[in-house]
Amino acid sequence: MAVGTPARAGWREWAGLALLALPTVLLGLDVTALYLVVPNLTEDLDPTASETLWIMDVYGFFIAGFLITMGTLGDRLGRRRLLMIGTVAFGAASVMAAFAPTAMWLIVARALLGVAGATLMPSTLSLITNMFPDLRQRALAIGVWATMFALGMAAGPVAGGALVAAFWWGAVFLIAVPVAVLVVVGAPVLLPEFRTRAGRPDLLSVGLSLAAMLPTIYAVKHLAAEGIDLQVIIAIIAGGIGGVAFIRRQRHLTEPLLDLSLVTSGAFSAALAVLLLGLIGFGGAMFLVTQFLQLVAGLSPTAAGMWMGPPALAMLVGAIGAPLVARRVSPGIVMSATLAVSLSGYALLALAGPGSKLSVVIGFGLVYLGLGVVAALGTDIAVGTAPADKSGAAAALSETVQELGVATGVALLGSLAAAVYRARVEVPPGLSPAAAAKYQDNISGALSLEGELPAWATDHAQAAFVSGLNAAALAGGIGVAVASLACFITLRRLRPLGDQGGQETSTSMDEVISER
């Protein structure tokens, strides 16, 4: 077929998209499902505050760290094959997490889930890119993909609350098992196999990428838990050295692990920056709001999950509605305006008090609305502005930024809230040293001592937690304000999605080997 007239997808490709939606929803769900499970989980496993944060965000960090490597591996092994291998690994790690006997066991299981998840994310999006060569169909398919990921993130707290109420916290992870079975059975029937002619993955580049990412992650975590010390300084230096070495090597390879020419595109880089800042604010807000509903408002996991329903609906409206609006208005303006609206949500969270349950939910709904728009349009801009032969790398970078943003938000804003809590809380007199340390460490520890505390101490701990939420919302709002302004300055001249000047591109059949 002529290069200018790419084939249109048929029923098999659309059925394949429906199958790819399953692991996509699962990946989004696993990002947020634990938010309403944390109180029950901490009661059972008794993790420290630092271990709790590791449980929450090690999954996202490991996905972010391995995405580019796994995307390259998929080019070599075959994207469908890597999807199936990763799905089986994800299901096995989920079972390991569901029955974790200790906090450290759960942290390791979540890390393995991150490595397995890193195989799924680039596989799903790169398969979509190959299955839908027609640009209009591809835009719709990518929109569905982004919406499914948003749906998973939105459904996570609701599903987590319902499952922990009906069973136990580990049941949240077992959702992955039937999904894994369906994908493994359906993939050979509905999904084509694609391999590019990329050379063997450069193992030194893989090692250097991890040498840059993992020490940096450790530095962020240790700084959040212990403050700046020699370990943080050494980790930052090590990560910087690894990053410089990685970039230098990519510049000298004919087939680099990461094509650095992508970041020279202003629209591409701006879209990634907006995604990162928007998701940092969201990750921190989600982590703290779900705790507020249970530990301050006193709701059960099921009730808290129901209260999270309206914000989830706002997110879906944003994810589905934004591409439609962006057919007539520049997507950069749509993103900038929606982020500006979401600032009112951060303001409500920054002004909330212990009795402000309704305003907290409304505020988080506005935060969620902004996330839905940014996730849908930011991904489309990042993939759409990249050359056709680099769309897989662009997708991997976009996914890396999104996962890293959520995990960083939990780490940084969660740690900021914890620091404010410790600064504000006053330990009641008469407690044993161990009980006093637990009371001062975090609000979950304080509430676990309720029978030993004077009447005022519980309200005092809850007020200190809300002060931490206020500070984190203020910090997140500042980041989103910067993202909104940057989006308007750099992306406002992008043409509406329905006005692409008739330009179409397709992937050469010499570059892609299709096997059914």
The closest of 68, 36, 97, 51 to 221, measured between CA atoms, is 51
Cα–Cα distance, 334 to 263 (Å, whole number): 23
Q: Are 176 and 30 in contact (CB under 8 A)?
A: yes
Q: In this structure, what are the phi and psi dihedrals at residue 76, rounded to the nearest 5 degrees?
A: -85, -50
Closest CA to 139 of 380, 385, 397, 396: 380
Domains of the chain in sequence order: 11-201+257-499 (1.20.1250.20)
- The answer to whether 41 and 160 are in contact (CB under 8 A) is no
Closest CA to 260 of 273, 271, 247: 247
CA distances from 124 to 76, 129, 131, 146, 422 (A): 15, 9, 10, 11, 43
Distance from C-alpha of 356 to C-alpha of 409, rounded to nearest angstrom: 23
371 and 31 in contact (C-beta within 8 Å)?
Answer: no
- Contact in structure between 159 and 32 (CB atoms under 8 Å): no
- Complete DSSP assignment for 208-246: HHHHHHHHHHHHHHHHHHH-S-HHHHHHHHHHHHHHHHH
Residue labelled with tokens 């990519």:
250
Residue with tokens 């809300």: 466
Residue that the structure tokens 């030194």 belong to = 204
DSSP H helices, 99-202, are 103-131, 135-166, 176-190
Pairing of strands 193-196, 512-515: antiparallel
Q: How many CB atoms lie within 10 A of CB 18?
A: 12
Write phi, then psi, for 266 (nearest 5 degrees): -60, -45
Strand partners, 515: 193
- Sorted by sequence, the CB contacts under 8 Å of residue 304 that are 6+ apart come out as 36, 157, 161, 290, 293, 294, 297
Query: How far is residue 123's CA from residue 396's CA, in Å, rounded to a whole number?
Result: 9
**403, 28 Cβ separation under 8 angstroms:** no
d(CA 120, CA 145) in angstroms, rounded, equals 13
Pair 47, 100: CB distance under 8 Å? no
How confident is the model over 289-347, as pLDDT tens digits? 888 988 888 887 777 777 877 887 888 788 778 878 887 888 889 999 999 999 999 99
Cβ atoms of residues 166 and 486 within 8 Å: no
- Mean pLDDT by runs of 10 across the 516 residues of the chain is 58 85 82 72 78 77 78 76 90 91 89 88 79 71 74 73 79 87 88 70 81 77 68 88 89 77 73 85 85 85 77 81 83 90 94 90 91 81 66 71 76 84 85 81 79 81 92 92 89 72 38 37
Q: Please give the model's pTM, rounded to 2 decimal places.
A: 0.74
Q: Quick one: pLDDT at residue 15?
A: 87
Q: Is 19 helix (H, G, I), strand (E, B) or coil?
A: helix
Q: Tens digit of pLDDT for each residue in 232-247? A: 889 889 989 988 998 8
Which pLDDT score, from 0 to 100, does residue 162 have? 77
Q: 251-297 pLDDT, tens per residue?
A: 888 777 777 776 666 777 888 888 888 888 888 888 888 889 888 88
Number of alpha helices (DSSP H) and beta strands (DSSP E) in the chain:
18, 2
* Nearest alpha carbon to residue 352 among 460, 450, 472: 472
Instruction: Annotate 444-468 with three-state secondary structure.
Output: HHHHHCHHHCCHHHHHHHHHHHHHH
Cβ-count burial 48-85 (b if 16+ within 10 Å, e if not): ebbbbbbbbbbbbbbbbbbbbbbbbbbbbbbbbbbbbb
- Identity at 496, one-letter amino acid code: P
The per-residue pLDDT for 197 is: 57
Q: Residue 162 contacts by C-beta under 8 Å, 6 or more apart in sequence? A: 301, 302, 305
Position 502 scores a pLDDT of 41
3-state secondary structure of 196: strand
User: For 485, how many CA atoms within 13 A lie in the half-sphere containing its CB?
Assistant: 6
Q: What is the pLDDT of residue 506?
A: 36
